[in-house]
Amino acid sequence: MRRVLALVVAIASTAAGAGEVRAPATFLSPEQRALQDDPSRHPGWLWVDAGETLWRSAPPTGRPSCQGCHGEIATMRGVATRYPAVAPSGELVNLEGRIETCRSEKQQAPAFGYESEHLLSLTAAIALQSRGLPMAVATEGPAARFVSEGRRLYTMRQGQLNLSCAQCHDENVGRRLRGDVISSGVGTGYPAYRLEWNRMGSLHRRLRACSLGVRATQFDYGASEYLALELYLAVRAGGLPIETPGLRR
């Protein structure tokens, strides 16, 4: 299997130099990019619309809605560029985790749950407010150890195929693997609508798919390993614009 995979990569044409980090949209076909940029045709906007409704809706506990505390959802502009981030508790949380904390602690309502329609929708709607803004996560202080762990995971060979994230997303950026172009592997478009899923999905769902692809351990959604890796991917994406809701093949 490793020899087959290596052969597929080796014979593919190169579109970018090794180690070059590019925005995910640059790897889309012209048709896919046009679809990503068109809210009237992009199916991911159905989740955004649902998320905006959730933002305005009070939970059944009678506690305030998101809007009741934060105001219009436009006040979230810039928030997504700073996640994942270290919480006051010392734990690393991504945007989904921050939403779930507000949900359980402030609204005193049951958490939505990873990969649920509600959480995907609300995350997409909030991240959309930062669309076009550059990623700028914190890397110093309490975040430093998580960045280091994410870097370790990114460069570590794993699974039965003995491959690391870096071997695909640094060394073979722009090459074709079967019908796909290998991207720089950053998460600036998530939650994203993937055509193969026929629905919206989180970055952790994509990371789990990558783990499965190299026959490695799949961690749970929200696992510390995926959170550290998500932070390191955000560091690599520093300065690149948020594309949420992205469109992926």
The model's pLDDT over 160-186, given as tens digits with 9 standing for 90+, comes to 999 999 999 999 998 987 778 899 999
pLDDT at 4 over 70: no
pLDDT at 90: 97
* pLDDT tens-digit map of 14-27: 333 445 799 999 99
The dihedral built from the CA positions of residue 34, 22, 16 and 194, taken in this order, carries a sign that is negative
Q: Write the pLDDT tens digit of every residue in 70-121.
A: 999 999 999 999 999 999 999 999 999 999 999 999 999 999 999 999 999 9
Q: What is the pTM of this model?
A: 0.90
**Can you tell me the distance from the alpha carbon of 148 to that of 228, in angstroms, rounded to the nearest whole number?**
8
Q: At what angle do helices 144-155 and 224-236 cross, to 10 degrees?
A: 90
Read off the pLDDT band of 8 (50, 70, 90). Answer: very low
Tokens of 23: 């925005």
The answer to whether residue 102 is catalytic is no
Instruction: Tell me if residue 89 falls in helix, strand or coil.
Output: coil
Please work out, in degrees rounded to the nearest 5, the angle formed at the alpha carbon of residue 128 by the alpha carbons of 126 and 133: 110
Separation between Cα atoms, residue 174 and residue 223, nearest integer Å = 29
Please report which confidence band the pLDDT of residue 245 belongs to, taking 50, 70 and 90 as the band edges: very high
Cis peptide bond N-terminal to 84, omega within 30: yes
- Name the percent of the chain lying above pLDDT 70: 92
Q: What's the rounded Cα separation, in Å, for the pair 192 and 190?
A: 4
Strands 92-93 and 192-194: unpaired
pLDDT at 205 over 50: yes
> Does the bond joining 191 to the residue before it have cis omega, within 30 degrees of 0?
yes
- Burial (CB count <10 Å: 0-12, 13-18, 19+), residue 125: buried
3-class DSSP state of 135: strand
For residue 13, name the pLDDT band (cuts at 50, 70, 90). very low
Helices 224-236 and 203-213, packing angle to 10 deg: 100
pLDDT of residue 87: 97
User: What's CA 217's distance to the chain center, in Å?
Assistant: 19
Mean pLDDT, range 181-205, rounded to an integer: 96
Residues 6+ apart with CB under 8 A from 214: 158, 159, 160, 161, 162, 163
* Residue 65 pLDDT level (bands cut at 50, 70, 90): very high
